[in-house]
Amino acid sequence: MPSQLVSELKDRYGVEIHYHKASEESYMALEVMKFPSGYYHEIIEAAVKQLDTMLCYFSKVLVLRLDLRLKSYSPNNNVISQFSSRMLQKIKKTYGKVAYIWVREQDKADQQHYVSAQLNPHTNINATYA
């Protein structure tokens, strides 16, 4: 069941179906928000490939999304590269295999922001509840 925010965004922008070729015989259909500026098919494909790769190794994968906003404009991606490198080193020590993807977004704001997703083996993560 989608959250109220997701439902509102779908109502406002609509959705588009992105088809990912899973094998010679099958495709995976993904709902993608239909924003006025569109989206990059290559980024969606890269994210799905990362997920597919992790699912080849593990039966369950936990996807953790992080939204990172900068205080001011940066002409390059050094900030996210350094952040990802340090974070992944720590995560790999604890959980082993991990995958990630990040994208830089900047629509009308003066500064860009990044959306990052970590894909962790779900079986290696201890529950925090009893």
In the predicted model, is pLDDT for residue 129 greater than 70? no
CA distance 114 to 100: 13
DSSP assignment of 88-99 equals: HHHHHHHHS--E
Q: Which two tokens stand for residue 62?
A: 């936990």
CA distance 77 to 104: 8
**pTM for this entry:** 0.67
Q: What was the pLDDT predicted at 87?
A: 87
Cβ contact 101:117 at 8 Å: yes
Q: Which two tokens stand for residue 55?
A: 């699912």
Tell the residue number behind the tokens 């369950």, with chain if given: 60
Sign of CA dihedral 104, 10, 52, 90: positive
Q: Which two tokens stand for residue 113?
A: 């922001």
In the predicted model, is pLDDT for residue 63 greater than 70? yes
In the predicted model, is pLDDT for residue 130 greater than 50? no
CA distance 102 to 112: 13
pLDDT tens across 11-55, in order? 777 777 777 777 777 777 777 777 777 777 788 888 888 888 888
